[in-house]
Amino acid sequence: MRTIAFVTQKGGVGKSTIASSLAVAATEAGEKVFIFDVDPQQSLAKWSKARGENDIPVAATTPAKLSAAIAQLAKSGVTLCVIDTAGADAGTSLAAMNVADLCVVPTRPNAFDLWATEITRKTLRENKRDYVFLLNQCPPAQQSARVEEGVSALEAMGGLVSPLISARVDYQEAARHGFGVTEYNPAGQAADEMRKLWSSLKRRLAKGKAAPMKKAA
C-alpha cells in the first residue's frame, strides 16, 4: 500500500477537491483506495455521504490515531491510501506527513499562496519527507505570467508535479455531488487532468524512496 497525504499550511487551496477527484481517478485505474479524513471540517466524510456509495471508504480519524490506522489498513488489501488534512493546523499536517510515502502540496499561482508554501516545504524538509508541489486553480489558458512565476518558484523549491490543474467548474460540481471529475464529466478537461495527475503520482510513488514510517507527533 502507498500513502499520499495532501498537506499545506494554507487553507482553501484545493486539498479536499483534488484528493477526492484523484481518489476516483485512481480507483478507475484499478487501485483499491481508502481515504482518511483528518480535517475537523470533515470535507471528505461529507463528500462520501453525498456519494452514497462505499466503493471508496472514507474514515475520519485523529492525528494521534493515524499511524496505527495506516498500519492496520496496510494489511487489508488497500493499494492506495489518501489522507486529507486541515490547512494551517500543524498537528494534523505533521501526523499525515509522517505516515505518507509522498506528500502533495497544492498551491494556487498567487504570491501569498506561494510564500505560504515555503513554510510547508520547510516542515517537510525538516522531517525528511518526500513531497511534490501541485499548481491548482490556474487560469484555464495557462499562459499567464502568474502561472509561469508559480511554475519556476515551485520547480526551484524542489519539484512540481504535472499537469497544472486549472480552475474549472467541473471540480466544484463533481465535489458537490460526491463524484470525482472523471465521473462527473468523463470527457472533460478536468477529467483529463486528473487521469494525468494519477499517472504522474503513480510514477513518482514507484521511484520515490519509501520513507521509513515515523510515529505521529
What residue 92 binds from Mg ion, ligand ATP, none (CB within 5 to 8 A, per partner kind)? none
Report the 10 Å Cβ neighbour count for 213.
15
**Least distance to ligand ATP, CB of residue 212, Å:** 27
Nearer to ligand ATP, 151 or 167 (CB): 167
- The nearer residue to ligand ATP, 79 or 123, going by C-beta atoms, is 123
DSSP string, 32-63: -EEEEE--TT-HHHHHHHHH---SS-EEE--H
- CA torsion angle 139 204 116 175 (round to 10): 50
Query: Using the rule CB under 6 A, which residue among 2, 4, 9, 14 binds ligand ATP?
Result: 14
Q: What is the per-residue binding string for Mg ion in 10-49, x denoting contact by CB under 5 A?
A: -----xx--------------------------x------
Measured from the CB atom, the residue of 3 and 8 that comes closer to ligand ATP is 8
| Residues 169-188, interacting with ligand ATP (CB under 6 A) | 171-172, 175
User: Is 85 one of the binding residues for Mg ion (CB under 5 A)?
Assistant: no
* 204 near ligand ATP (CB under 6 A): no
Among 16, 67, 92, 182, binds ligand ATP (CB under 6 A): 16
Range in contact with ligand ATP (rule: CB under 6 A) among 11-19, 23-31, 49-57, 201-209: 11-19
Ramachandran region of residue 91, left (φ > 0), alpha (ψ -120 to 50) or beta? alpha
Which segments of the chain does DSSP mark as H helices, in order? 15-28, 43-51, 63-73, 90-99, 111-126, 145-156, 169-176, 181-184, 189-207
32, 9 contact by CB (below 8 A): no
